[in-house]
Amino acid sequence: MIDWERIRQERTWQRAVIELLINVPELFLVLYGLKMLATLHGHMLRAAEGQVYHRLSFVPVDGTLAVTVGLLYLAFGVFVYMADGRPPAESRGWFWRLGRAALCWGSFAVALLCFLQADKMATGRGLDLAGLPDHLLLKIVGFFAGVIGSLFFLRAMYQREQVKRELESRDCKPLHILWRPNAYWLWRYRFTWWFPTGFRVIYSDPGGSIHKGYCFVYRSFQDDPRLGNRRVRWLTDEVTARGPAPEVWADSEILRAKLGAGEVSAEANNQSDESPP
């Protein structure tokens, strides 16, 4: 996704060009898919059978098949574009958060259905499950999905303890540490860090202020090349609620909250003016 916030911060044409070049593949898929829907003509990638091996080639398509392939390109381009970006700001409402998730994964589902339908229309065969016993494929997929999901969950809980230790080392109190599996804001770090695991964290600092932010845990092989040390990197950390201000007692009365550095109270000025020289 184009990082508009970074473009606004730097305000240079070089940053705008870089962001555009990074997102060229998905933008091209979206534009080409719209072109196929408008003209009912385009090309699709198909595997042609050869004497030794299959080869991939682009073949022209028209009509209904072109509409299906165009929807495939459009939906997959939207999915790739939405599957990246910065963590959401705390001011962003749940309506926009849920809308982004629905658009991202909804486009992925549409792309998958269009892929199966385009293959069926192009080859005339499609995915044939007639020879399998009842619910066998569902049982196989459910078994492997359950095993893999359980392993990922146990690993995430192991990484979660590192976030708790990092907060406690700063005398902070963790309130909620929520695992974010397959978070869209984590994809850009999967190729530069070693198996990052993302978390949504809410904690209170020593002053009582409430913080909300996003972080991920990764392994660093600089200090321990054999196993790697788990490290926490914070992407956002915003103060959403201030802690109670300390009170200052003088002459058995609460004068006011604790003064900041270099600040003088009006009452102290009045007392100094009334005191004799």
Q: Check if the beta carbon of residue 81 is closer than 8 Å to that of residue 157.
A: no
Q: pTM score, two decimals?
A: 0.69
d(CA 143, CA 147): 6
pLDDT in tens, 80-136: 888 888 888 777 778 888 888 899 889 999 999 998 888 888 777 666 666 666 677
pLDDT in tens, 169-221: 989 999 999 998 888 888 777 766 777 889 999 999 888 889 999 999 887 66
For residue 45, the cross-strand partners are 58
d(CA 197, CA 159): 7
The helix/strand/coil state of 41 is strand
Q: Check if the beta carbon of residue 112 is closer than 8 Å to that of residue 72.
A: no
Report, as an integer, the average pLDDT of 234-246. Answer: 78
More confident site: 275 or 78: 78
Nearest to 86 by CA among 175, 7, 176, 195: 7
Q: Please report the pLDDT score of residue 249 as a whole number.
A: 54
d(CA 111, CA 103): 12
pLDDT in tens, 24-66: 888 899 999 999 999 988 888 877 665 555 667 788 888 888 8
Q: Length of the chain in residues, anyone?
A: 277
Looking up tokens 């593949």 gives 25
d(CA 3, CA 76): 20
Residues 6+ apart with CB under 8 A from 164: 174, 177
Residue 202: in which H helix or E strand, if any? Answer: strand 194-204
Residue type at position 84: D
Q: Please report the pLDDT score of residue 132 as a whole number.
A: 64
pLDDT over 90 at 240, yes or no: no
